[in-house]
Amino acid sequence: MGFDFDHTLGIDNKLERVAFLRLLEDACARGGRCIGTLAEEIVRIDGLLAEQRSGAFTIEQAVERFVRDRGTRRPIPFVERYKRIALEMVDWFVVPQPGVREMLVELRSRAIPCAILTNGWSPLQQRKARRVEFDGPVVVSSDIGAQKPQPQAFAALAQELGIAPEDVAYVGDAPEADVAGALRAGLQGIWFDAEGVTYPPDLPRPSAVIHNLTELAALV
C-alpha cells in the first residue's frame, strides 16, 4: 500500500508558505526588501513553491532565488534558516487526517506493507510522516530525482515495498498526480475524495474511491 501525504494523510496548513514569509521578514531585517504588498508576496511565494514541486529546481535553489530577488547578497545562510523554520513548524502546523492513525493500526495488524510516496524535500516530508505516526518508509521526490506523476516515482515506491507494481495500491487526493499517475505506472489508483468534488472525466477512472481513510481497510 502506498500513500500520498499532503491532503491525504495530513494537512500542513500552508506550512512552507509561512516559512517563506518568515524568511522574508528576516531578509528585510538584513537589508532586503519586499516586492509589492504582502498579498502580492504570497502569490509569488505560492508560484515559486509550485515550480519547485514540479521539479523545476530544488528547494535550496528556490530559497536562493527568493532572497536574491529581494536584494540579499548572501543566500546560503537563508537556506538553512528556511529549512530550520519549516521543520520547527511541523508539530504546530501539520494536522493528521481524521482516521489516519486507526487506519495505520489496522494495516499493521494485517501485516500489509506500507510506504509514502510524496513530492517535496527531505527531511521535511519524513517529519510530516512521523507527525501522523507513520513509521514506514518515506520515498521523497527530492531523493529519487522523480516527481509524481512520473512513472519513475511510482516505480521507486514499488521497489521500496519490494512488491510488483500491479500488486501495489496507491492512495491520494490528486486525480492527476496521484490516481492517474499510479494507474499509468501500472499500480492501482485509489482516489481519496474527502471534499466531495467531481473527478475529472478525461482521466483514467480510479480503481476505487474512498471518502474517509477508515474505509480503506475494507478494500484490502
In this prediction, residue 76 carries a pLDDT of 73
The rounded mean pLDDT for the chain is: 94
Confidence of residue 155 (pLDDT cuts 50, 70, 90): very high
Give mean pLDDT, residues 112-138. 96
The percent of residues above 70 in pLDDT, for the chain, comes to 100
Instruction: Name the 3-class secondary structure at 170.
Output: strand
DSSP state of 74: -
In this prediction, residue 55 carries a pLDDT of 77
Contact criterion met (CB below 8 Å) for 12 and 6: yes
In this prediction, residue 22 carries a pLDDT of 95
Can you say whether the dihedral through the CA atoms of 210, 213, 214, 217 is positive or negative?
Answer: positive
Task: Compute the distance between CA of residue 127 and CA of residue 166 in angstroms, rounded to an integer.
Answer: 29
Q: Is the per-residue pLDDT at 124 higher than 80?
A: yes
Whole-prediction pTM value? 0.92
In this prediction, residue 30 carries a pLDDT of 85
Task: Compute the distance between CA of residue 209 and CA of residue 216 in angstroms, rounded to an integer.
Answer: 9
Of 171, 166, 155, whose CA–CA distance to 114 is shortest? 171
Task: Compute the distance between CA of residue 4 and CA of residue 38 in angstroms, rounded to an integer.
Answer: 31
Which grid coordinates are listed for 173?
A: 487526493
Confidence of residue 126 (pLDDT cuts 50, 70, 90): very high
In this prediction, residue 74 carries a pLDDT of 75
Confidence of residue 77 (pLDDT cuts 50, 70, 90): confident
Amino acid 189 reads G
pLDDT tens-digit series, residues 19-60: 999 999 998 888 889 998 999 999 999 999 998 887 788 899
**Burial of residue 196, with CB atoms counted within 10 A of its CB: 0-12 exposed, 13-18 middle, 19 or more buried:** exposed
Q: Is the per-residue pLDDT at 73 higher than 80?
A: no
Task: Compute the distance between CA of residue 57 and CA of residue 9 in angstroms, rounded to an integer.
Answer: 26
Can you say whether the dihedral through the CA atoms of 138, 143, 144, 145 is positive or negative?
Answer: positive
Higher pLDDT, 24 or 73: 24
